[in-house]
Amino acid sequence: MDKIQLKALAKINLGLDVLRRREDGYHEVKMIMQTISLCDELELRKRKQPGIQVRTNLHYLPTNENNLVYKAAQLLMEEFQIGDGIAIQLQKRIPVAAGMAGGSSDAAAVLWGMNQMYGLGLSRKGLMERGVRLGADVPYCVLRGTALAEGIGERLRTLPPMPKCYILLAKPGISVSTRFVYENLHANDLKPEQHPDVDAMIEAMKEKDLGLLTARMGNVLELVTVPAHPVIEEIKRYMLEAGALGAMMSGSGPTVFGIFDTQAKARKAYHAMRAGRLAKQLYLTVPYNVRR
């Protein structure tokens, strides 16, 4: 196999709690992760010239070792002493720095693709173990679907699939630093009522109750990001008024997602959001529950 084409799927957090800040500086989290159909596209191709070549449709993205797809390729090439060069063409559609794990998903796709192209024989677990060296979200992006993530995000347990629904994504024209959000959360000082009830959300998913699930959604990082960027709360309110069963920020933001029980309501909200001009980027999508 000299060439392979892959899709790198985005994710949202249906629930995100931070339990504490560890002595090593990392944060203990408890999150419900959900893959969605919005995706980047990658093409991996073997080259006779040694080295890694990365090209992308976004001029401001790095194409060297500062890009996770480069690091993912480098990791496997060094471990398995791959002498060929590899060319990676990355077509970005997932918003950048949006709390949707776009870079992590791209890295996971490269790990998966190189495993197939070079017949490395790595299991999904083996790819996930290597992925955590690149970032805490990469193992989940290898797994995909609906999952509970604990530890720093690397301990994963598959959950029942999300009930059928339609998801509207809205990213305002701002950027949010994940480091800033976590450093200003002061996780060890949070009151019990400030933590979302992730276990209750899991029960709602087991019952396949979309209304109950959306009523219990929560993201503790909103305590930091929303005061710094009030437009996030505006978008949430706008979505709820447009008929969303629930609306919440994904990850550290700034993307907000709204969950709708019908496609008609989601489309109507999409057009209302576009007219309102609160968001720079809007996408309609659905949960993606089928694994590779």
Please pick, among 71, 137, 171, 236, the residue that the annotation labels catalytic: 137
Burial level of 222, CB count in 10 A (0-12/13-18/19+)?
buried
CA dist 167 and 258 (Å) reads: 6
Contact between residue 44 and residue 87 where contact means Cβ atoms under 8 Å apart? yes
Alpha helices in 118-258 (DSSP H): 124-131, 138-143, 178-183, 198-206, 210-216, 222-228, 231-241
Please pick, among 11, 30, 71, 236, the residue that the annotation labels catalytic: 11
Active site residue 11: yes
CA dist 129 and 222 (Å) reads: 30
Whether residue 254 is preceded by a cis peptide bond, meaning omega within 30 degrees of 0, is yes
Active site residue 137: yes
Question: Cα dist. 142→8, 97, 111, 138, 258 in Å?
Answer: 9, 19, 8, 6, 25
Helix (H) or strand (E) holding 10: strand 3-21
Q: Which residues are catalytically annotated? A: 11, 137
